[in-house]
Amino acid sequence: YDGTINIPVYVYVIYSNASQNISDAQVNSQISVLNADFNDTNYNDVPTEFQSVGADIDINFTLATIDRQANSTTSWGTNNAVKSAYPAVPGHLTIWVANIGGGILGYAQFPGGNASTDGVVISPQYFGTTGTAQAPFDKGRTATHEVGHWLNLRHIWGDGRCKQDDFVADTPSSDGPNYGCPSYPTVNCRSNDMTMNYMDYTDDACMNMFTLGQKDRMRAIFASGGARENFVQ
């Protein structure tokens, strides 16, 4: 699919206490990060060897609704329980801001799954850049990463050893995630890891790119017959 893709976003804020009931400003700060990260045209800030594959994904996110719901559940886990209580909204990227627990930042559903559970879940303290957002996950990159999954991206290391692929040719092979803020170069599988890719596990402040190959993989699902073709006319 060619051209800008516009995605309306439906945000549930599910809270069991006041601090989980994050502000409109915190929600809006996350939408701003999604728009910046999916429309990045400046790759001077990545290592020279990766600059030529940095991509402008050209997807815009528009906040449609903030739906606040009080609920006595304090931790929702990763088994879609929150989605059974509050179903996904068709025609939107549905984001459930709900405390997952267990130190889990977020989780996502890949394209092609059940419509009622389609979307991403993110714990409130890892959502947006203001309010209750907590370092080192306070730059909104958990949502960027989870929306990457929602748009069909795998983890950059392919969730396996060196030969396990992420089905993207221009992301270097690696044998596992990187954490924290790695120095460059970080060498695995005889090449330099792209530790600053949004689909690694590094800290929010240390990730800043998608690649052209990831762009192709994401945008393919909007083509005719693709899993998210209904978002484009």
Q: How far apart are CA 204 and CA 193, in angstroms?
A: 17
**Which residue reads 């977020």 in tokens?**
106
Which of ligand ARG, Ca ion, none does residue 107 bind to, with CB < 5 to 8 Å depending on kind?
ligand ARG
Q: Does 203 bind ligand ARG (CB under 6 A)?
A: yes
Q: Does 209 bind Ca ion (CB under 5 A)?
A: no
> Near ligand ARG by CB under 6 A, which window of 2-10, 63-71, 166-174, 202-210?
202-210
85-124: contacts with ligand ARG (CB under 6 A): 105-107
Angle among Cα 202, 30, 49 to the nearest 5 degrees reads: 40
Q: Does 138 bind ligand ARG (CB under 6 A)?
A: no
Q: Does 231 bind ligand ARG (CB under 6 A)?
A: no
Q: Does 168 bind Ca ion (CB under 5 A)?
A: yes
Per CB under 6 A, the list member of 43, 76, 119, 141 interacting with ligand ARG is 141
**Which residue reads 């992301």 in tokens?**
171
Tokens of 85: 């209580």
Per CB under 6 A, the list member of 10, 96, 204, 209 interacting with ligand ARG is 204
- Active site (annotated) includes residue 146: yes
Q: How far apart are CA 223 and CA 218, in angstroms?
A: 10
* Cβ nearer to ligand ARG, comparing 97 with 105: 105
User: Shortest Cβ distance from residue 190 to ligand ARG (Å)?
Assistant: 25
Q: How far apart are CA 189 and CA 209, in angstroms?
A: 21
Contact residues for 84 (Cβ-Cβ < 8 A; gap 6+): none
Per CB under 6 A, the list member of 37, 118, 138, 146 interacting with ligand ARG is 146
Element (DSSP H or E) covering residue 6: strand 5-15
**Which residue reads 């699902």 in tokens?**
221
In degrees rounded to 5, what are phi and psi of residue 67? -110, 105
Residues annotated as catalytic are: 146
Interface residue list for ligand ARG (CB under 6 A)? 105-107, 137, 141-142, 145-146, 201-204
